[in-house]
Amino acid sequence: MAITPIHLDRFDWYDYRRYSFSLGLKTSAGTYLSGHTASEYEPATSRIVVRGGMTEQVRTIYAKVAAILEGGGLGYGDVTRIVEYVHPEGIQRYAEAAAVRRELFGKHQPVVNTVPVKSLLRPDAFIEIEVTAAAARGVAPSTVFLPSIEPVDDQGNVVGVGDLVAQTHAVYDRAARMLSALGLGLDRVVKTATYITPRALPAYENTARVRRERLGPVYPAAVDIVMPRLLHPQAIVQCDLIASREAPVAVNPGWTRYDELACSPAVRAGKLLYMSGQGALDPKSGRVLHKGDVVAQAECIYGNVLQLVRAAGGASRHLVKTIEYVTPASLDRYREVTGVRSKMLQEPRPASTGLISDALLRPGMRMDVDALAVLD
């Protein structure tokens, strides 16, 4: 099955063809939708606006999702994973979002990852939602999504308050139990998305030894993002993990900086290529390039992403999803990144989500890209 974009004759909210992303891509491994807020075009002001409170916004988002899924011959029952990126104000009203989701999906409740973000690109948006769906009905998936894992005990109390290493161990303990129930182990984890708070950042290097102890022998790809707060107010780390029933294989174009890291530049599992978050870093030394220039960094980043895809035997057309984490300081020029994507990425362009992080791991980084490819 080729990678095919989902095109709609009618999309009531805005002209999606003006943007450098696809509404959704269907592949042999899954269907990937761009992240959506409740944004819509307002003819009276010629602006994109977001209206309503949390409940209204979530209903608008899922109306978009339903239209896109229908355009791909799918429905809510085919959704395998939902990622909810929630604005700090939206966290206070998160129960409304969860109630709408439960109502719409009924007995079919997909895996949910909930990520508190610093803010969303649409300032009036409380939430942005990204959806993954099945490739086709009746096909057994090899990908295993775990729900967001917090460092809590069975009673919901945070473990190791203020201790990043203890909380990281607690997260992997819970992940190990979840995977064991599915007949898998931590050795089948192919991707980790780790979210930490600013006060955890100084100690973050200490978690590398936890990853070395708990993961591998093929270290998963990893993306690490700093957010102002997490789901539990006392948590300083939470993780989203993806595992595979296919044996993982590390992919490295020869980037020596990963020799010291407890993650792989990319991991192939079957047809899927999971990539570590890419910043504008020299692949050998790890030195930040083009400090403070989000456009130059974007060119560097997408060059690195495409190098990883080629190292796995793919090409630009195999890139199916990107998540762009940008810092507040990059927003004045972030629109210019559209031109970089248009220049460097082939049609059909990947589904995309753009988010504002509190900070990135290295000073001077303005952007980090989390990418996924589906290979032939």
Domain boundary among 95, 119, 139: 139
5 and 21 assigned to the same domain: yes
Q: Which residue has the tokens 């030195």?
A: 287
pLDDT of 1 reads: 62
130 and 2 assigned to the same domain: yes
Half-sphere exposure of 268 (CA within 13 A, CB side): 17
Q: What is the CATH number of the domain that holds 347?
A: 3.30.1330.40
Length of the chain: 376
316: exposed, middle or buried (Cβ count in 10 Å: 0-12, 13-18, 19+)? middle
Task: Spell out the alpha helix ranges (H) of 85-218.
Answer: 88-91, 94-105, 164-181, 208-214
Domain boundary among 91, 108, 139: 139
Q: Which residue has the tokens 């990908």?
A: 143
pLDDT (tens, 9 = 90+) of the chain, 376 residues, equals: 689 999 999 999 999 988 889 999 999 999 999 999 999 999 999 999 999 999 999 999 999 999 999 999 999 999 999 999 999 888 989 999 999 999 999 999 999 999 999 999 999 999 999 999 987 665 557 899 999 999 999 999 999 999 999 999 999 999 999 999 999 999 999 999 999 999 999 999 999 999 999 999 999 999 999 999 999 999 999 999 999 999 999 999 999 999 989 999 999 999 999 999 999 998 778 899 999 999 999 999 999 999 999 999 999 999 999 999 999 999 999 999 999 999 999 889 999 999 999 888 888 999 999 999 999 8
Q: Please report, to the nearest 10 degrees, the dihedral formed by the alpha carbons of residues 191, 285, 355, 121 taken in order.
A: -170
238 and 323 assigned to the same domain: no
- CA 209, distance to chain mean position in Å, is 24
Domain boundary among 100, 118, 139: 139
Q: CA-CA distances (angstroms) from residue 145 to 49, 234, 326?
A: 33, 25, 25
Question: How many domains does one find in the chain?
Answer: 3
Q: Is 335 within 8 Å of 342 (Cβ atoms)?
A: no
Q: Is 141 within 8 Å of 133 (Cβ atoms)?
A: no
pLDDT of 19 reads: 86
Q: Which residue has the tokens 């296919």?
A: 246
3 and 135 assigned to the same domain: yes
Distance between CA 138 and CA 195 in Å, rounded? 34
34: exposed, middle or buried (Cβ count in 10 Å: 0-12, 13-18, 19+)? buried
Distance between CA 308 and CA 303 in Å, rounded? 9
Kindly report the pTM of this predicted structure. Answer: 0.95
The secondary structure of 91-103 as a DSSP string is: HTTHHHHHHHHHH
263 and 307 assigned to the same domain: no
Handedness of CA 167, 173, 176, 178 (dihedral sign): negative
Q: State the residue range of the domain holding 226.
A: 142-269
135 and 147 assigned to the same domain: no
128 and 206 assigned to the same domain: no
2 and 129 assigned to the same domain: yes
133 and 175 assigned to the same domain: no
7 and 74 assigned to the same domain: yes
**SS3 (DSSP) at 143:** strand
257 and 149 assigned to the same domain: yes
Cα radius of gyration rounded to whole Å, the chain: 19
Residue 42 forms beta bridges with which residues? Answer: 47
Distance between CA 178 and CA 176 in Å, rounded? 5
14 and 133 assigned to the same domain: yes
